[in-house]
């Protein structure tokens, strides 16, 4: 009888030690290994201080329809076995071609009345990436960023040089007039009256997981209204506004770019997953609603991890956002839940 | 007797469980908490394929003397209780003012015969940072980067805009002719003959820990010889070529910039320390001599952590490098040990 009780106690001790060790080392890994979807796509159209009162029903409908169109474009590529890179580029092009967002067609004006656009794209499979800053005649900066990634030895090109490279490789260019919209022009006049540089709502971004298990992310922006001094924000800074890594997740950010650069936001979320074992949701929450909030860094992020888990976090009043997973049901939101 | 043996065994079990838990959770933290020095400074003048046979005794002496002068300048600031930011800026200015390195005075030429300089600086105390890209008339780009950090709302400015901001704030400018050196000009002619863009040796960088426990890092470069297309490398990309965080370390990188951007090298080293508990030496070794080697990303890094531990890692033949800690003995090296 005594021997049995001894044996039982020893077994008990062994079980305790093992379970402590296992939970200490593996718990988080197991949590993050839960497969949520085989493929999916998530987008944003900028975060900011928007509240329902600011928008008419018509405006809300216009935003929702455009976000839906963009999502469906990407999802259809993924559904047919296309790559996450193709889905990200095609989806962002839809948003760039719309005057609703501060990217491509709807880009805001600099203080001297120009439109200077930035974009970046990253392939999670091999960490290759491309970024462009300050382009003025490229219709779809996201496509130029992809061209830089795939057809040049470089990853980051600026201004005339970037556009020269684009033209040499057949990228679609437009007259700078193309980027004129009344909305952006009036926004500049208002900003000038107040002598402010405004981080206008509307940077766009996309992240996708394809059927092959590859992640990609991209971001495109027209920058700040009334921007001076050749300021570059976080969008073309890989690791800050855009990051993708098959080991973790794909992310696109939007917000007060300076804070996203200082905090290397997109890479920080990935590192918290890879090195500290946080889930995608926990890591995104930590960076956007803890670290950034502490330094008053306004903005948000969207992304998808390698298991198809979606995160859409923001510390502002709202964020144009949405996702579709393999089930095909789009979820689109603007304001807080 | 039996009771004692029981007690002893129970105590033994408790000790085992506790030590397992403690070692599991704290071991690495303890390792990294060992204080090495109260203050110190570390520099580089570029990594690359240099071997002793390439240099005359005179040349080696000239490099060593300049590295020594730079180190002593920074160390004297730190010794007198100055800040790591002041030490980093003053040290890099010495290297920028020398024609020996590819930064400031010794900057290489772009394909159209211009000198376009990039620089960045970061304050580990508050994660504030400043970066400039493509400046052509600023004598000391590292000082302009600091000005962007301290006197603007932005962290990253490019080209004419950056210089306009600098001039408005009293930064020292020079005629572009100032950056002419025979060495850089001949290097361009050679590169043109071979139709190559060369990542020339000689980007400079510095990291420092001051007596107040604050870390800072900075990097300055003339970019690539025969560079086209407005290419931006890793130097002004915070998190890639430059990063400082009082929680971990201060780092400046040098090498094939594209790989340093893709791998977010400087922030990755910091994240491996903060989130995975690696020591500074282990984290730097992992990124430079494992991750980067796997993708053939040539280059190196120097840095100092919050406990005064120095790392100087490179996967090339050599790297101009050196450090001084509080003991005041400079260590300067060029080739592999």
pLDDT in tens, B192-208: 888 766 555 689 999 99
Residue that is written with structure tokens 């936001």 in the block: A265
Closest residue in B to A161 (Cα–Cα): B229
Residue A27 has pLDDT above 60, yes or no: no
Residue A8 has pLDDT above 90, yes or no: no
Pairwise CB contact (< 8 Å): B230 & A129: no
Task: Write the pLDDT tens digit of every residue in B303-327.
Answer: 999 999 999 999 999 999 999 999 8
A255-264, A275-284, A299-308, B2-11: which has the minimum mean pLDDT? B2-11
Q: What percent of chain A has pLDDT over 70?
A: 92
Closest residue in A to B263 (Cα–Cα): A127
Asked if residues B184 and B222 have their Cβ atoms less than 8 Å apart, the reply is yes
3-class state of residue B106 by DSSP: helix
pLDDT of residue B191: 87
Sign of CA dihedral A62, A235, A324, A143: positive
Nearest to A115 by CA among A180, A45, A60, A67: A180
3-class state of residue A292 by DSSP: helix
- Taking the C-alpha atoms of residue A73 and residue B70, their distance in angstroms, rounded to an integer, is 56
Same domain, B68 and B130: yes
A94-98, A191-195, B130-134: which has the minimum mean pLDDT? A191-195
b/e sequence A272-291, b meaning 16+ C-beta within 10 Å: bbbbbbbbbebbbebbbeeb
The H-assigned helical ranges of chain A are 2-32, 57-79, 84-96, 141-151, 159-168, 182-193, 257-262, 265-276, 280-286, 292-294
Check if B262 contacts A (Cβ < 8 Å): yes
Query: Shortest Cα distance from B156 to chain A (angstroms)?
Result: 5
Q: Give, in order, the Cα–Cα distances in Å from B221 to each of B2, B159, B268.
A: 74, 14, 21
Catalytically annotated residues of A: 203
3-class state of residue B334 by DSSP: strand
Q: What percent of chain A has pLDDT over 90?
A: 78
pLDDT of residue A213: 97
For the beta carbon of residue B21, count every other beta carbon within 10 angstroms. Answer: 14
- Taking the C-alpha atoms of residue A217 and residue A243, their distance in angstroms, rounded to an integer, is 6
Same domain, B24 and B146: no
- Taking the C-alpha atoms of residue A118 and residue A116, their distance in angstroms, rounded to an integer, is 7
B260 against A26, higher pLDDT:
B260
pLDDT in tens, chain B (337 residues): 566 777 777 777 777 766 666 555 555 454 546 789 999 999 999 998 888 888 999 999 999 999 999 999 999 999 999 999 999 999 999 999 999 999 999 999 998 899 999 999 999 999 999 999 999 999 999 999 999 999 999 999 999 999 999 999 999 999 999 999 999 999 899 888 887 665 556 899 999 999 999 999 999 999 888 888 789 999 999 999 999 999 999 999 999 999 999 999 999 999 999 999 999 999 999 999 999 999 999 999 999 999 999 999 999 999 999 999 998 899 999 999 7
Query: Shortest Cα distance from A324 to chain B (angstroms)?
Result: 28
- Taking the C-alpha atoms of residue B283 and residue A306, their distance in angstroms, rounded to an integer, is 25
The DSSP code sequence of B43-65 is EEEEEES--GGGS-HHHHHHHHH
Query: Which of chain B's residues have a Cβ under 8 Å away from the Cβ of A223?
Result: none
pLDDT of residue B131: 98
Query: Which of chain B's residues have a Cβ under 8 Å away from the Cβ of A161?
Result: 228-231
- Taking the C-alpha atoms of residue B25 and residue A15, their distance in angstroms, rounded to an integer, is 20
Nearest to A43 by CA among A83, A93, A80: A93
pLDDT of residue B5: 74
Q: Kindly report the CA angle at B267 between B208 and A116, in degrees rounded to 5?
A: 105
pLDDT of residue A7: 73
Tell me the whole-structure pTM to 2 decimals.
0.91
pLDDT of residue A23: 58
- What is the number of residues in chain B? 337
Check if A16 contacts B (Cβ < 8 Å): yes
> Mean per-residue pLDDT for A152-168?
95
- Taking the C-alpha atoms of residue A158 and residue A140, their distance in angstroms, rounded to an integer, is 15
b/e sequence B234-245, b meaning 16+ C-beta within 10 Å: bbbbbbbbbbbb
Pairwise CB contact (< 8 Å): A127 & B263: yes
Asked if residues A201 and A191 have their Cβ atoms less than 8 Å apart, the reply is no
- Taking the C-alpha atoms of residue A166 and residue A143, their distance in angstroms, rounded to an integer, is 9
Q: How far is residue A23 CA from its own chain's centroid? A: 32
Same domain, B73 and B220: yes
Q: Domain span at residue A4?
A: 1-32
- Taking the C-alpha atoms of residue A104 and residue A106, their distance in angstroms, rounded to an integer, is 6
Asked if residues B262 and B246 have their Cβ atoms less than 8 Å apart, the reply is no
Task: Write the pLDDT tens digit of every residue in A211-262.
Answer: 999 999 999 999 888 888 789 999 999 999 999 999 999 999 999 999 999 9
Same domain, B20 and B79: no
Prediction ipTM score:
0.91
Residue A33 has pLDDT above 90, yes or no: no
- pLDDT, mean over chain A: 92
Same domain, A48 and A24: no
Pairwise CB contact (< 8 Å): A258 & B153: yes
DSSP-derived letter for residue A290 is: I
- Taking the C-alpha atoms of residue A149 and residue A146, their distance in angstroms, rounded to an integer, is 5
Partnered with residue B216 across adjacent β-strands are B123, B208
Residue B87, token pair as written in the block: 């030490």
pLDDT of residue B19: 65
pLDDT of residue B3: 66
3-class state of residue B138 by DSSP: strand
Nearest to A132 by CA among A169, A78, A180, A84: A169
Same domain, B4 and B85: no
Nearest to B141 by CA among B178, B191, B111: B178
Indicate the residue of A129, A158, A263 with minimum beta-carbon distance to B262. Answer: A129
Indicate the residue of A17, A133, A165 with minimum beta-carbon distance to B20. Answer: A17
Same domain, A63 and A126: yes
Same domain, A294 and A330: yes
The widest CA-to-CA distance across chain B, in whole angstroms, is 92
- Taking the C-alpha atoms of residue B230 and residue A154, their distance in angstroms, rounded to an integer, is 10
Residue B183, token pair as written in the block: 């060495």
Same domain, A27 and A57: no
Check if A164 contacts B (Cβ < 8 Å): yes
Task: Write the pLDDT tens digit of every residue in A125-151.
Answer: 999 999 999 999 999 999 999 999 999
Cβ-proximal residues to A60 (8 Å cutoff; 6+ apart), any chain: A52, A334
pLDDT of residue B34: 78
3-class state of residue B332 by DSSP: strand
Same domain, B102 and B230: yes
Indicate the residue of B25, B127, B134 with minimum beta-carbon distance to A158. Answer: B134
Q: Kindly report the CA angle at A32 between A14 and A327, in degrees rounded to 5?
A: 140
Confidence of residue A50 (pLDDT cuts 50, 70, 90): confident
Query: Which of chain A's residues have a Cβ under 8 Å away from the Cβ of B274?
Result: 275
**Residue A244's CATH number:** 3.60.20.30
Residue B269, token pair as written in the block: 């080293």
Domain count, chain B: 2
Query: Shortest Cα distance from B121 to chain A (angstroms)?
Result: 11
> Mean per-residue pLDDT for A55-64?
95
Residues 80-109 of A with CB under 8 A from B: none
Query: Which of chain B's residues have a Cβ under 8 Å away from the Cβ of A154?
Result: 229, 231, 258
Same domain, B69 and B28: no
b/e sequence A185-204, b meaning 16+ C-beta within 10 Å: eebbeebeeeeebbbbbbbb
Residue A275 has pLDDT above 80, yes or no: yes
Asked if residues A50 and B53 have their Cβ atoms less than 8 Å apart, the reply is no
Task: Write the pLDDT tens digit of every residue in B241-290.
Answer: 999 999 999 999 999 999 999 999 999 999 999 999 999 999 999 999 99
Query: Which of chain B's residues have a Cβ under 8 Å away from the Cβ of A232?
Result: 133, 156-158
Cβ-proximal residues to B22 (8 Å cutoff; 6+ apart), any chain: none
Same domain, A25 and A42: no
pLDDT of residue B246: 98
């Amino acid at each position: 009888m005594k021997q049995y009780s001894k044996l039982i106690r020893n077994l008990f001790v062994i079980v305790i030690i093992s379970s402590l060790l296992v939970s200490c080392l593996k718990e988080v890994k197991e949590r993050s290994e839960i497969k949520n979807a085989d493929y999916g796509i998530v987008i944003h159209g900028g975060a900011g201080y928007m509240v329902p009162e600011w928008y008419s029903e018509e405006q809300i409908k216009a935003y929702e329809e455009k976000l839906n169109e963009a999502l469906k474009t990407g999802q259809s590529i993924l559904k047919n076995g296309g790559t996450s890179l193709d889905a990200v580029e095609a989806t962002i092009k839809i948003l760039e071609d719309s005057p609703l967002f501060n990217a491509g067609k709807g880009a805001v004006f600099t203080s001297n009345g120009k439109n200077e656009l930035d974009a970046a794209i990253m392939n999670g499979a091999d960490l290759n990436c491309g970024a462009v800053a300050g382009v003025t005649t490229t219709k779809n900066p996201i496509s130029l960023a992809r061209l830089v990634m795939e057809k040049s030895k470089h990853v980051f090109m600026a201004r005339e040089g970037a556009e020269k490279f684009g033209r040499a490789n057949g990228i679609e260019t437009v007259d700078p007039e193309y980027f004129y919209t009344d909305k952006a022009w009036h926004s500049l006049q208002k900003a000038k009256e107040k002598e402010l540089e405004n981080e206008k709502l509307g940077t766009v971004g996309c992240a996708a997981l394809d059927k092959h298990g590859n992640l990609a992310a991209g971001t495109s922006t027209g920058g700040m209204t009334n921007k001076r001094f050749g300021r570059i924000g976080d969008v073309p800074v890989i690791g800050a506004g855009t990051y993708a890594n098959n080991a973790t997740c794909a992310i696109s950010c939007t917000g007060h770019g300076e804070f996203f650069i200082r905090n290397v936001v997109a890479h920080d979320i990935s590192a918290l997953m890879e090195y500290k074992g946080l889930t995608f949701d926990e890591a995104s929450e930590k960076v956007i609603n803890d670290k950034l909030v502490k330094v008053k860094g306004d903005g948000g992020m969207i992304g998808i991890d390698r298991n198809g888990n979606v995160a859409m976090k923001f510390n502002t009043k709202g964020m144009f956002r949405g996702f579709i997973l393999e089930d095909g049901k789009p979820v689109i939101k603007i304001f807080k839940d």
